[in-house]
Structure 1
Amino acid sequence: MATSNVTTALLTLLVYDLVFLLILFTIVALLSGTKKAAYAVMKRNFVGYFSNPTGYVFLCIFVFLTSVAAFWPYEFFTQNLATLNQLNYWFPLIMLVFIPAITMSIWAEEKRQGTDELLLTLPADDFDIVIGKYMAASAIFTASLLFSQISTFLTLAILTEGQVDIGLIFTSYLGYYFVGLTMIAIGMVASFLTGNLTVGFVLGALFNAPLAFASIIKGVSPSQRLATLIGESGIARPFDDFGRGVISTSSVVYFVLVAAIGLYMCMVLIGRRHWTGGKDGNTMAWHYIARVLALVLIAGGATVFFRNKDIFRQDMTEGKVSSLSPATKKLIRELDSDRKVVIDAFISKDVPEVYAKTRYELVNLLKEFRSEAASRGRELEVNLYDNIELFSDEAALAEERFGIEPVTRMVREKGSTQTKQLILGAAFKSGLQNVTVPIFEYGIPVEYELVRSIDTVASGAKKRIGIVATDARLMGGAVMSGMSMQQVNRHPLIDELSKQYEVEAVDLNGPVSKDMYAALLAVQPSSLAPPQFERLLEAVRSGVPVAVFEDPAPVGMRYITPTGAPKQAPGGMFGGGGGASPKGDIRQLWDLLELDVPGKLNAQNMYTPDLAWQLYNPYPALADSANGMWLFIDNDAPGAVEGETLSSESPITSGMNEVLAIVAGVVEPRPESKFKHTTLLRTGSQSGMIPFDKMSEIMSGQTTIEREVDSIRPQVPIAITIEGEAEGKAKASDDVAKADDDSNEDSSDDSEETVVEESPTTSPVRVVYVADTDLMLPEFLMIRADPDTIAEAKFQFQNVTFVLNCIDWLTGEDEFVEIRKHEPTFASLRMIDSVRDVAQQEVRKRSKEFQDQYDKAIRDAQESVDIRMKDLKEDIAKLQEKNSDGQVSRVELQAKLQRFQTQQELEQRKLDVQQTKLKRDQELKVRDIQRTADDQVTKIQNQVKAAAVALPCIPPLVVGVIVFAARRLRERENISKSRLK
């Protein structure tokens, strides 16, 4: 399968190359038809270069250098990304060697051999000669680049098992091509100035050096503005788009214009013979200098114009890693042009492998933000401090001004566990509004984090959501746990919501109107007291959007009262409260929303919903926990229906892949309901429902799902949205408010107060109902930030995304829902991952064996101690019997007991020593097997390096040897044998 994928990827790349070559051949064909002299010059130089073995030597050197730059740095494997980042960094330096090697003989060789006069007497103008030479050098470079591209692509395709990003590789090499065309034009200027090949090589490198090194001026220039101006005049800025897989008008215009300036200078130099000896020679020289300067100014102005107004900008990457989602572009378009947003991002040079994708995506997106804002004329300034050292001035600036400090992470690299520090944060500012993201965790979508922060500082105001105070205690506080009070910390979900909304606790002691909150979040509303529950119902009727998470059996947060259980009174059984507190009737909410929840009344006359089950678990590491009660809502589950398991009809779940619900209930719409119900989450086909009272037995392993159920019900729904119009009464909120009056107030007076004029009204209902609270456990936020919590599991849960989407859908923040869906895909080194996974599986297998051996040795040692102590125990037992009969003195018994205690302590010390020795031996064995596994991975990496560098050099060397041999044979053809001796 991997071989076929590699072949397919290579054929696709060759199609790209074929189209590109057809364009070039078309240009050459037009040249040969209209400029025959130029075509003749091109053909002569091109054939002459590759008919000489020296040309193949330079080709071999070029391929060798590009392969070393791409694959030899250790960062290539630590980043685990199939990109050309390392080659992008070193490519300008490689070109400073290779391009002068091509251009040094363009004109210098003609002068040295005296053939320049012959060229100048051809029936052709100066343009024909210059463009012919330029096309020849470009053709030589194109052939070399194609060879390098194919060899590099094959290496990446093998490493990724055919899943390489073809668009990224092709676009990067297209960028190399434009860099080469530009440098060739500049190098030709150097060749036209001298007749010495060595001088031509040196001058060619010197003339191109400013373009290659302009980007590093920031580190030495005292003026930041001057450094920025010079830095952006080099090839680094325009090439950066190509290196990230983006073809842009501004980049193409830059390279074309700089190449045009170089070619025009060549035209001036070759044509100077017409006017240098005349009386107006000096005047003409200044005239042409002015022309060149004018061209430079035009090129600079055009580059700046197109950089700010990029007419065409296309992300060619297959994973769209350098694209902004439509919602993000809309946000940038709608930014207030009078309210400037400044982003200061700080990224350290070295980051752990797990953060490599986040770093890559963050840099790409920030650059796209900058480009999109410039094209739209929006005030969005991006200050990107990339590749900074932890002790640099930039790191000090990040800490002192923005509070972005180095974060410590434990990682395993180069065969050992290391503590590494990294900086990967950003600060956002607009006016007086500030937001700081101290660290972009690798599991959180980068674009969402960026857009949310920009929107927060740009808007200057946040929507407000209310967190209903229930047993869930999302805002933190004291809860009843058994017979004592337990302090609950603020739920991390609240911190996540606070980044986007104004979050406020709502106790429902007063009415809630639609204009007070953009939405309410009610987790386990059945635990509310009847007056508060009634106000929640009124809030729903009045049109307040509400997210309801109602769980028949909370597992993770056990202090939450289940739907069908009585609520313990504050103070507990012995704290003065006594008995059960009254609860709201959750069935009233179901009636209001026209929902059916299967279940039955229990002994306390409370309704207990049934529970959903599903026999599907994609994570073997969780086999001991799931027991069929963990519902993996996954499109890959048996019987899952695409677009229904995770509904494609709702923006909340459209595009999502997996959500985990733990011991969830069932919820479905009633037949012929007037509301629009959209089921969000469904199980697969191997699923159904069981009574609540069977849950504890199944979870404890006393029984199984298969034993307890006799029927299967496919596609059990556990989450749903409700939209429509609800009937209400005017002044209903007033009635509820009066229900809280003093209980001793005269009933007749109360009735007088509640008599008001009422009229039927309708209000829009917008509710999300989820029959599970464990779906939002804090652990899911931890997994979201660190998906590799359990390395072998590689969790893909999108629970946090689901919850946030529910809130955003209710509040109308649909753009954030769309942005979370925009998840770029990256090509990783799957072959290395496979080797690493196999090695780690072997480590886990052997570690378990060592642990089993250790446990057995400890058991054997304990049994041996017990056997040795058995006789002493029996003697003591006999002495104790005799002592009770007065046959043995107390002193003898005490002595025996002392001896037993001494012997027991001695045996325990021996056991402790043996246990310590066995534990140390086990750790050494585990360390050895881990070292062996790391050696296997390193060995494969070194083999890849050697093959990637050595193998591409063989074909040009072989061809070079053949050309050399053929040339020598031709030279010897007409020479007599006597002269060959």
Structure 2
Amino acid sequence: MSTTLGSVLLVLVNLLLIDLLFVAILAAVVAVLANTKQAAFAVMRRNFVGYFSNPTGYVFLCIFVFLTSLAAFWPYEFFNQNLATLDQLNGWFPMIMLVFIPAITMSIWAEEKRQGTDELLLTLPADDFDIVIGKYMSAAAIFTASLMFSQIATFITLAILTKGQVDTGLIFTTYLGYWFVGLAMLSIGMIASFLTGNLTVGFILGALFNAPLAFASLSGSLLPSGWLASTLEAAGIATPFDDFGRGVVSTSSVLYFILVTCVALYICMVLIGRRHWTGGKDGNTMAWHYLARVLALVVFVGGAVVLFRAWDVVRYDATEGSVSSLSDTTKDLIRNLDAERPIVIDAFISDEVPEQYARTKYQLVNLLKEFRSEASKAGRAIEVNLHDDIELFSDEAQLAEDRFGIVPVARMVREKGSLQQKQLILGAAMRSGLNKVTIPILEYGIPVEYELVRSIKTVSRSERKRIGIVTTDANLMGGTTATPMGMQRIPQHLLVQELAKQYEVEEVNFDAPVEPGQFDMLIAVQPSSLTPERFTRFLDAIRDGIPTAVFEDPFPATNRGITPTGQPKQSPGNPMMGGGGMVPKGSIRELWDLLELDVPGKPSPMLPGGLNPDLAWQHYNPYPNLPIEMNDLFVFVDDQAPGGENSLNDASPITRALHEVLLICPGIVEPQEEATLKHTPLLQTGALAGRISFDDARQYMNQPAKLMEKQGAPGISSIMAVSIEGQGGGGEQADADADQDSAEDEADTSPIKVVYVADSDLMIPDFLQIRADPDQTDDVRFQMENVSFLLNVFDWLSGESEFIDVRSHKPYVSSLAMIEDVKQEAAVDERAEVKQFQAEADKIERQADEARMAKAKQYEDEIEKLRQGGLTREKMAKVQKIVQEFRNWEAIEDRRKQVAQEKEELDMAKKRKEIRRKADTRVENIQNIVKATAVSLPCIPPLVVGIIVFSSRRLRERENISKSRLR
């Protein structure tokens, strides 16, 4: 609790310091005004003090804070998205301003006319500019004070909900956008005040004059799609404010609001100065003259806005999580696109998405808008058609299905205390000429920017790089295989489907040599299972310089179809039908010699000349709540593990941005002592680690206590993956060849580029599913980056290193941690109840089995007594009767056991439902408390100050009045 409070206070102090800097800048501007335009400063001070000396000002301030808090936290979408943003307030803010801005501006000049003090102001030794700018700055100061009060109240609420992890930059920039919106609307509202002397009329006209800018974003829904609708949308405040709302300060947005403000203030200057020429003989001519000026100024402003919107000089992402910025690699990719090959991006996003997809939707919208801006700035033809907030059965949804095959996807979510199936659309399609790539659904666990960049680059080039998948026991490409039960269908590996989005993927069986340049990269999973002839050709491909990813697993724990490194390979088929014999394997030692690797282990008794490599283990599990039992052979390569600071090599681009990779029963590799190749460790164990023999691991895999005994004491760190580069041909055979003709061999040898991983279980399909859906259990969020590691390996080998950088860019959006903690606590309680239920069920089953055995023993003893002395017909009848009684008793007990189990299951289901109901009720109570306090508490200070001001004014009015006149 104290830590959370400290974090909240820290971020609040950080925001206040930024606000103080902002106020200091504004104070400097006011100081310059006070020294250069004393009359303007006097007008500003008079209006500002007069506004806050009147209780009415505090009432309007209270209403403003109430409406902003209501719009920010009351909508259901705020908690459903679970994001610490102001998206809901952004949508309602223009409407709030249509109420608050006229309340400030209606009395700026209309009140002066009503009281007759306008003539006094106009006779001051000041020009019209002094009066207009003084009035405007007083209104801006009033609005600034109100806005800062709202900002602090909103920020405190978000800081508490996020437990101090709120994005200060995003909140400040959003309110900076509100400030610019207010400046523009204040200047327009002043025009209304200069036109009338009636406060009510001034309020209505102020709202009417600002309404076109506030509602311009609705033009697309009111008018047919086209140039007029898009132009009107761009002319409103929503488009330039959008950058601020996403945490971006851009030149185009700032200039838009400044130029609109200048035009409105110039119109105010014309209105206040019309007294000089309206009564003269050239009054009508001057009116047309000034009208022409205003129109020319509007045209100039419109042109400037369009120019800078197409060419943003500066775009600064102020968010702490870099959620509204592109990586440098992405920017370079956009700049290097062929200007003559335009790219069209069509994104379709449904209006409602489940909570876990809200972050993905937020990032997708932000990135697409940044793509559009960066492409416009770089002069590249990228057209972004963002179909946001569409209905599932709308015309846009039908367009997505008919043209791109993007259809609604069903997901099970738990909302409002029950499991519900919700449909969502969250897909995108990229087109360039005849090339097209479709992303049917952007899963929330996959980096959005990487998916977009990979698709854009794929469609922007005429041909893809080629990857060869070596045909081995792993069967990555799928197909059929012979088993004792007959032919079995093997589906294509999900990893191959992932690679096919970026590369041309082909199968390589090495029945013939592979020529250099035929493939940009090879992937070989368990190459030791190749026949000697194919294995030799595989080694030749590596010598020829074809980049290769090798996954050689000494203990395949999840795929029994893969032959371990040191075990003989059996022929598929039924031994009774002539199959099942041994098949020759290539010598894996030749590969190790070629790559100058040492592999610790023991000779294999079953494979002549073979080796059973030792396995690495590590005592570390970052997921103690996992429902499955895990031993130390589940090696979490994690920089948070004891002594694991260098477990993932920061010097390698493959592992630089990774934090956790899981290997299962991995092997060990070490560079040879006199190696000439460059070996860079990628994955290695930490301090609490060691090694175990293959035979011990296989024998005691299901005996945790015995397995730990065989593991021994920790203290040996092991390398499990390594990248290898350099001039190849190493090993004993290469040395012998070098003795014969070293010069010729050196000339014929190509550079070697290989990544060797002593495990194949790190690529099982489960990791791709976890990557797409890391929240598969309520109380565990998986952080394993196996897929990212594999893709980094393949991209590094194939020379597509830019994708590694994009994949490393991980924007972060703050979430409502307080709500998440409640849900996680409920999930932990539910799991504890399930474990307790399972223990009780096991106890009941053991007791039933013991009772069954005791009863059976009792009946057996009776039967044995009857058998003594021989079985007569009478004894046989008794034995049959006893057996029948036992069967009847057994049936009754089985039924009783079944009923007890069903009752326990029903009780468990009821208990789980009760836990979830209590958690949902607690979450709902927190939400209601947040809503109530966020809306009501900020209103109290201005109300209290307003009451004090009202009371003091009443007391001052009664000071010189006799008591006899008081009522």
Please tell me the TM-score bracket, short chain as reference: over 0.9
Of 815, 821, 830, 1:843 maps to 830
Structure 1 residues 912 and 883: CA distance shift in structure 2, 3 A: farther
Between the two proteins, the alignment pairs up a number of residues equal to: 953
Give the 5 Å matches for 1:59-98.
59-98=61-100
SS of equivalent to 1:195: coil
Instruction: Give the whole-Å Cα distance in 1 for the aligned partners of 2:627 and 2:891.
Output: 42
Give the stretch that moved more between structures: 912-921 or 555-564.
912-921
Instruction: Give the whole-Å Cα distance in 2 for the aligned partners of 1:521 and 1:29.
Output: 69
Of 762, 771, 796, 1:775 maps to 762
Letter matched to residue 499 of structure 1? K
Q: How far apart are residue 407 of structure 1 and its match?
A: 0.5
Letter matched to residue 950 of structure 1? S
Of 3, 9, 12, 1:10 maps to 12
Instruction: Give the whole-Å Cα distance in 2 for the aligned partners of 1:136 and 1:697.
Output: 83
Give the 5 Å matches for 1:783-932.
783-853=770-840, 856=843, 884-888=871-875, 905=891, 908-932=894-918
Instruction: Give the whole-Å Cα distance in 2 for the aligned partners of 1:711 and 1:845.
Output: 32
Letter matched to residue 814 of structure 1? S
Instruction: Give the whole-Å Cα distance in 2 for the aligned partners of 1:446 and 1:284.
Output: 58
Of 523, 526, 529, 2:528 maps to 526
Write out per-residue CA displacement over residues 498-528 of structure 1, whole angstroms, 9 at most, x where no aligned residue: 0000000001111112210110001110001
Give the stretch that moved more between structures: 622-631 or 122-131.
622-631
Instruction: Give the whole-Å Cα distance in 2 for the aligned partners of 1:595 and 1:164.
Output: 49
Give the 5 Å matches for 1:157-172.
157-172=159-174
Instruction: Give the whole-Å Cα distance in 1 for the aligned partners of 2:853 and 2:691.
Output: 51
Q: Given that residues 634 and 664 in structure 2 are in contact (C-alpha distance below 8 angstroms), is that contact kept between their aligned partners in structure 1?
A: yes
Give the stretch that moved more between structures: 312-321 or 388-397.
388-397
Instruction: Give the whole-Å Cα distance in 2 for the aligned partners of 1:728 and 1:707.
Output: 39
Q: How far apart are residue 847 of structure 1 and its match?
A: 4.0
Give the stretch that moved more between structures: 286-295 or 337-346.
286-295
Letter matched to residue 613 of structure 2? P
Give the 5 Å matches for 1:132-531.
132-479=134-481, 485-531=487-533
Structure 1 residues 799 and 388: CA distance shift in structure 2, 3 A: same
Write out per-residue CA displacement over residues 540-595 of structure 1, whole angstroms, 9 at most, x where no aligned residue: 11110000010100111111000000011233423324531111111111111111
SS of equivalent to 1:383: strand
SS of equivalent to 1:620: coil
Instruction: Give the whole-Å Cα distance in 1 for the aligned partners of 2:161 and 2:787.
Output: 33
Instruction: Give the whole-Å Cα distance in 2 for the aligned partners of 1:407 and 1:695.
Output: 43
Structure 1 residues 581 and 853: CA distance shift in structure 2, 3 A: closer
Instruction: Give the whole-Å Cα distance in 2 for the aligned partners of 1:921 and 1:758.
Output: 75
Name the structure 2 match of 1:748.
none
Q: How far apart are residue 870 of structure 1 and its match?
A: 8.6
SS of equivalent to 1:659: strand
Letter matched to residue 418 of structure 2? S
SS of equivalent to 2:345: strand
Instruction: Give the whole-Å Cα distance in 1 for the aligned partners of 2:648 and 2:890.
Output: 63
Instruction: Give the whole-Å Cα distance in 2 for the aligned partners of 1:939 and 1:882.
Output: 79
Q: Given that residues 593 and 730 in structure 2 are in contact (C-alpha distance below 8 angstroms), is that contact kept between their aligned partners in structure 1?
A: no
Structure 1 residues 870 and 588: CA distance shift in structure 2, 3 A: closer
SS of equivalent to 2:564: coil
Instruction: Give the whole-Å Cα distance in 2 for the aligned partners of 1:350 and 1:881.
Output: 80
Q: How far apart are residue 272 of structure 1 and its match?
A: 1.1
Letter matched to residue 836 of structure 2? E
Q: How far apart are residue 859 of structure 1 and its match?
A: 6.1
Name the structure 2 match of 1:743.
none
Q: How far apart are residue 851 of structure 1 and its match?
A: 4.5
Name the structure 1 match of 2:741.
none
Q: How far apart are residue 848 of structure 1 and its match?
A: 3.5
Q: How far apart are residue 904 of structure 1 and its match?
A: 5.1
Q: Given that residues 697 and 707 in structure 2 are in contact (C-alpha distance below 8 angstroms), is that contact kept between their aligned partners in structure 1?
A: no
Of 678, 699, 703, 2:680 maps to 678
SS of equivalent to 1:769: strand
Letter matched to residue 654 of structure 2? I
Of 553, 556, 566, 1:554 maps to 556
SS of equivalent to 1:800: helix
Q: How far apart are residue 394 of structure 1 and its match?
A: 1.1
Q: Given that residues 347 and 385 in structure 2 are in contact (C-alpha distance below 8 angstroms), is that contact kept between their aligned partners in structure 1?
A: yes
Q: Given that residues 594 and 729 in structure 2 are in contact (C-alpha distance below 8 angstroms), is that contact kept between their aligned partners in structure 1?
A: no
Q: How far apart are residue 295 of structure 1 and its match?
A: 1.3
SS of equivalent to 1:391: coil
Structure 1 residues 724 and 975: CA distance shift in structure 2, 3 A: same
Q: How far apart are residue 907 of structure 1 and its match?
A: 5.3
Write out per-residue CA displacement over residues 151-191 of structure 1, whole angstroms, 9 at most, x where no aligned residue: 11111111111111110001000000000000001111111
Instruction: Give the whole-Å Cα distance in 2 for the aligned partners of 1:915 and 1:169.
Output: 54
Instruction: Give the whole-Å Cα distance in 1 for the aligned partners of 2:202 and 2:656.
Output: 62
Name the structure 2 match of 1:741.
none
Name the structure 2 match of 1:640.
644
Instruction: Give the whole-Å Cα distance in 2 for the aligned partners of 1:882 and 1:462.
Output: 89
What is the percent sequence identity of the aligned residues? 62
SS of equivalent to 2:437: strand
Q: How far apart are residue 838 of structure 1 and its match?
A: 2.0
Instruction: Give the whole-Å Cα distance in 2 for the aligned partners of 1:420 and 1:884.
Output: 71
Structure 1 residues 711 and 512: CA distance shift in structure 2, 3 A: same
Q: How far apart are residue 906 of structure 1 and its match?
A: 5.1
Q: How far apart are residue 698 of structure 1 and its match?
A: 3.6
Structure 1 residues 704 and 92: CA distance shift in structure 2, 3 A: farther
Write out per-residue CA displacement over residues 204-254 of structure 1, whole angstroms, 9 at most, x where no aligned residue: 111111111111111120242211111111011100000000000000011
Write out per-residue CA displacement over residues 720-772 of structure 1, whole angstroms, 9 at most, x where no aligned residue: 1111112599xx9xx9xxxxxxxxxxxxxxxxxxxxx9994231111100110
Q: Given that residues 778 and 827 in structure 2 are in contact (C-alpha distance below 8 angstroms), is that contact kept between their aligned partners in structure 1?
A: no
Name the structure 1 match of 2:958.
972
Q: TM-score under structure 1 normalisation?
A: 0.94
Structure 1 residues 637 and 911: CA distance shift in structure 2, 3 A: closer
Give the stretch that moved more between structures: 469-478 or 871-880.
871-880
Instruction: Give the whole-Å Cα distance in 1 for the aligned partners of 2:104 and 2:832.
Output: 57
Name the structure 2 match of 1:940.
926
Give the 5 Å matches for 1:532-543.
532-543=534-545
Name the structure 2 match of 1:115.
117
Structure 1 residues 972 and 531: CA distance shift in structure 2, 3 A: same
Give the stretch that moved more between structures: 901-910 or 399-408.
901-910
Q: Given that residues 645 and 715 in structure 1 are in contact (C-alpha distance below 8 angstroms), is that contact kept between their aligned partners in structure 2?
A: no
Instruction: Give the whole-Å Cα distance in 2 for the aligned partners of 1:160 and 1:791.
Output: 19
The root-mean-square deviation of aligned C-alpha atoms, in Å, is 2.3
Of 117, 123, 126, 1:124 maps to 126
Q: Which runs of 5+ in 2 are unaligned?
A: 738-743
Instruction: Give the whole-Å Cα distance in 2 for the aligned partners of 1:65 and 1:881.
Output: 95
Letter matched to residue 975 of structure 1? I
Q: How far apart are residue 837 of structure 1 and its match?
A: 1.8
Q: Given that residues 689 and 717 in structure 2 are in contact (C-alpha distance below 8 angstroms), is that contact kept between their aligned partners in structure 1?
A: yes
Q: Given that residues 648 and 655 in structure 2 are in contact (C-alpha distance below 8 angstroms), is that contact kept between their aligned partners in structure 1?
A: yes
1:764 correspondence with 2:751: yes
SS of equivalent to 1:715: coil
Give the stretch that moved more between structures: 475-484 or 896-905.
896-905
Structure 1 residues 864 and 719: CA distance shift in structure 2, 3 A: closer
Letter matched to residue 250 of structure 2? S
Write out per-residue CA displacement over residues 866-920 of structure 1, whole angstroms, 9 at most, x where no aligned residue: 8889988877777788994222475x77677666655655554455445434432
Name the structure 2 match of 1:621.
625
Q: Given that residues 570 and 577 in structure 1 are in contact (C-alpha distance below 8 angstroms), is that contact kept between their aligned partners in structure 2?
A: yes
Instruction: Give the whole-Å Cα distance in 2 for the aligned partners of 1:844 and 1:569.
Output: 45
Q: Which runs of 5+ in 1 are unaligned?
A: 736-756
Q: How far apart are residue 926 of structure 1 and its match?
A: 2.2
Letter matched to residue 811 of structure 2? P
Name the structure 2 match of 1:612.
616
Q: TM-score under structure 2 normalisation?
A: 0.95
